Amino acid sequence: MQNRPITFSIKTRSTKSHARVGTIETPHGVIQTPAFIPVGTKATVKGITPEMVKDLGADSMLANTYHLYLQPGDEIIKAHGGLGKFMNYDGPTWTDSGGFQAFSLGVALGKNITKFTSSARPGYDEISLKGSGHKVESENALLPAKVDEDGVMFRSIIDGSAHYFTPKKSIEIQQNIGADIIFAFDECTSPHEPVEYQKRSLDRTHRWALESLKTHVENTEAFSKQALFGIIQGGRHEDLRKESAKFISELSYNGIEFDGFGIGGSFAKEDMITAVHWVNSILPENKPRHLLGIGEPSDIIKGVMEGCDTFDCVMPTRNARTGTVFVNDSADTFSYVNLNLKNAKYKDDLGPIEWGCECYTCKRYTRAYMNHLYKAGEMLAGTLATIHNLHFMAKFMEKVRGEIVAGNL
């Protein structure tokens, strides 16, 4: 296989689970795995600078293709020399494909279905989306994202203008943005969709995967600088998940395969690790596996034990902006709690967010001060809590790697 811009090496394998410790070497630095990747949706982690992200211990950052395409536009980012130079970040960068926005702005909109959803299936008043074969709820007629066989029509969340993403378009945008690792365009489905739709959607995702790979390989300049990950879908169905893992892991164009894999989908909470187990039992060992949209530490541990290497999610930073922080709970290596710093009980608490924490926030500010900032609506609250949560995540992943090496995980 042709030399690629990333190299994945496994350093240690657990004897008690499928966990492994390794490195992903990219043109802009090394990612120690397992790793949590902070999300800077619009080329920024809200409230802190890119330099701070790196200083907090994160090895890389992930940005959102859909949002950057709308604002400021991928051509402007290309003119800067790519995502890293645009936001003054010299570490490894990732971009997702925009496929998840087809889901979150489409059939999931307004139904409290995100990365995780309840097991109960909501009621459906089905109509057909013209030309797509996709049955959607009747109120979906004016949703800002609609899927058909060739791509997704988006309505801009900024001005309502229409934009059409095909796999080719998604890859071309990501090539302009210039991240080190990019993803194939896919359709993320709700676990509530019937199996018949899941099958049609999976066929579509597989066709889009080939078109994504073809587009990337044929752009020789981008191909030499960027790694492309294929995405596995299949909902909550074992046969579809395994079919997708086999298809995506064996797919090639002109002898070129995907550089790694993303495990996608919206899950019922109890389904996630089962689906990951099905997939990772088939994916090759010598390529990195990214579990898309997972950021709760307890879920990350489960993913690591099933052989996942990297994770991304907005949750740790979004929670920080709304007042919730992670705090280690006991001497137990991975025990933690979520504290809501807006609670009245912290108004007079003169202790740090977490005793013993070495982050900038905990060494300088009290829970009482944080409570005051949130109650006063001061933007500094979100900044200081984001610093703490990302520091927590970096230290958490460091502990995970250490426990795998020690043979304890």
Provide the residue type at 297 as one letter.
Answer: P
Q: Give dist(CA 57, CA 19) in Å, integer.
A: 21
**φ, ψ of residue 135 in degrees (nearest 5):** -85, 130
Closest CA to 165 of 180, 155, 151: 151
Cis peptide before 352 (omega within 30 of 0): no
Q: Give the other-Cβ count within 10 Å of 392's Cβ.
A: 26
From residue 361, give the alpha-carbon distance in Å to each of 125, 325, 344. 50, 12, 20
Helices (H) and strands (E) in the chain, counts: 14, 22
Q: Give the other-Cβ count within 10 Å of 120's Cβ.
A: 8
Q: What angle do CA 325, 326, 330 make, to 5 degrees?
A: 140
Q: Which of 96, 259, 271, 309 is labelled catalytic?
A: 96
Question: Is 312 annotated as catalytic?
Answer: yes
Q: Which of 59, 259, 309, 312 is labelled catalytic?
A: 312
Q: Give dist(CA 60, CA 265) in Å, integer.
A: 23
Q: Give dist(CA 298, CA 371) in Å, integer.
A: 26
Question: Is 96 annotated as catalytic?
Answer: yes
DSSP 123: P
Q: Which two tokens stand for residue 20?
A: 């492994």
For β-strands 227-232 and 260-263, DSSP reports them as: parallel
Q: Which two tokens stand for residue 67?
A: 């949002």
Provide the residue type at 108 as one letter.
Answer: A
Q: Which residues pair with 289 in a beta bridge?
A: 261
Catalytic residue numbers? 96, 312
